[in-house]
Amino acid sequence: MFSLFKFGKKRSNQYVAASAPAQSTSTELIEKTSQPTVASGSISHQDLYSGSTPLPAGKQLKLQLAVCYLPHPEKVHYGGEDAHFISDYGGGMMGVADGVGGWQESGVNPADYSRTLMLMSRAYLEGNDIFQEQAASRHGVLIDPRGALEAAHMNTKVPGSATACVMQLDQANGVLAAANLGDSGFLVIRDGKELIRSKPLQHYFDCPLQFGAFPEFVEATDTADMADLYSITLRPGDVIVAGTDGLWDNCYLSEIIAMSPRSPADAQSSADAIAATARRHASDTEFASPYTREALSQGLDLPWWDKLLGMSFKGGKLHLKQLTGGKMDDITVLVAFVEATDIPPPPAPPSAEAQMDSGAADAASGVPAPAPAQ
């Protein structure tokens, strides 16, 4: 099995992957939308509000989320190096990160960095933990996946490095907003076909862009402003599959699409099946995996003596052995099924009886009752 060690290197030129085709957006829609809150300097209105699909009155989109995580067999004892989060907040959001295993050589648990990065990303979007005071001024749900990566990067001060991808539903506009740095990523499926897949960002083969704690523990780091941003208009029935390179290196898109859920109730079984398939391919030394195919395209192959020792006759011709096999790794699979749900009714105003009870309580505590309206 061929493998290269992944490490960070500062990139001079930013590669930007193409996102979904932008559709026209009316200024009226943007001005009348009170939610979500969009962080300044992160995602522009033009990118974010791209052709929202009208839903029936009283309906909104929601993500039914599921996850399956299979650590590398040799890393089960400490939980592997991948990290993730899923949350129903704002209709649904999720994130995934892949810690760089080379830190083990320095006596560092690579999972510490990836786990902290995901904890901080979630806390930023939900307005919890160290971001509570900052969130107090928000009006609505913050839609800012790139900002989440930046905030997490700035506040993760432990040894290590990791790739990361954060996705969240802009429930008010029916849009998936996503930011991806490195070779983790996501796929959106519609009507059993690929709608869009994020592109891996790499310095070179097997060396993805990644976050690291600079200058405390690394000489240079890639940053959130180098991440690819995506805004994809969703429809009920769409499926989002996200994961670390343990998924994408071992499964083809056609396999993932075939195992995608057909209903919200299928999300967990779909995540389990996709992860199990990736692990089976990772263990198969004869499988022509996406990873080894990409290695061959980069001019990387077995040494000549291995090619000779493994040669065989097929179809009356002599064939030298080629690089094959999956890539054993941590495997994280997140699945989200997009469904239309009822918008919950606004909270009812307090009843006259409740107001009287409140006034009585205030009188008992010495708090003056409010003056009557003029």
Q: Which amino acid is it at 169?
A: L
Residue 168 belongs to domain with CATH number: 3.60.40.10
Residue 374 has pLDDT above 60, yes or no: no
* Whether pLDDT at 31 is above 50: no
Q: How far apart are CA 66 and CA 334, in angstroms?
A: 6
Within a domain: 165: yes
User: What separation in angstroms does the CA of 177 have from each of 21, 47, 229, 360?
Assistant: 14, 9, 7, 48
> What value does the mean pLDDT take over residues 193-222?
93
Instruction: Specify the amino acid at residue 124.
Output: Y
Which range of 55-64, 269-278, 299-308 scores highest in mean pLDDT? It is 269-278
The tens digit of pLDDT for each residue in 314-357 reads: 776 765 456 568 899 999 999 999 999 999 888 777 766 666 66
Choice among 12-26, 192-206, 225-239 with the minimum mean pLDDT:
12-26
Distance CA 33, CA 73 (A): 48
| Residue partners of 294: CB distance under 8 A and separation at least 6 | 205
Closest alpha carbon to 238 in 62, 50, 11: 62
pLDDT score for 357: 65
Q: CA-to-CA distance for 200 and 184, rounded, in angstroms? A: 7
Structure tokens that stand for 73 in this block: 């067999």
* pLDDT score, position 27: 24
Q: How would you classify residue 139: left for phi > 0, otherwise alpha for psi between -120 and 50, otherwise beta?
A: beta
Q: What is the pLDDT of residue 102?
A: 87
189 domain residue, yes or no? yes
Q: For 46-71, what is the mean pLDDT? A: 79
The reply to whether 355 falls in a domain is no
- Mean pLDDT (the chain) is 81
| Residue 100 belongs to domain spanning | 59-243+330-344
In a domain? residue 65: yes
CA 334 to CA 154: how far, in whole Å? 25
* Residue 76 confidence (pLDDT): 94
pLDDT at 16 over 50: no
Using the predicted structure, report yes or no on whether residue 43 has a pLDDT greater than 50. no
363 found inside a domain: no
User: Is 89 inside a domain boundary?
Assistant: yes
Q: Is 237 left (phi over 0), alpha (psi -120 to 50) or beta?
A: left
What pLDDT is attached to residue 37?
53
How many residues comprise the chain?
A: 374
Least confident of 63-77, 127-141, 248-262, 325-339: 127-141
Query: Is 68 or 52 the better-scoring residue by pLDDT?
Result: 68
Q: Say what the pLDDT of residue 366 is.
A: 59
Higher pLDDT, 259 or 326: 259
> Is residue 149's pLDDT more than 70?
yes
Least confident of 201-215, 271-285, 292-306: 292-306
Is 270 a member of any domain? no
Distance CA 19, CA 2 (A): 32
Looking at residue 73, its amino acid is: P
Instruction: Report the number of distinct structural domains present in the chain.
Output: 1
Minimum mean pLDDT range among 211-215, 227-231, 248-252, 323-327? 323-327
Is there a domain that residue 124 lies in? yes
CA dihedral of 129, 130, 136, 137, whole degrees rounded to 10: -140
Flag the least confident range among 129-133, 150-154, 350-354: 350-354
User: How large a percentage of the chain has pLDDT more than 90?
Assistant: 58
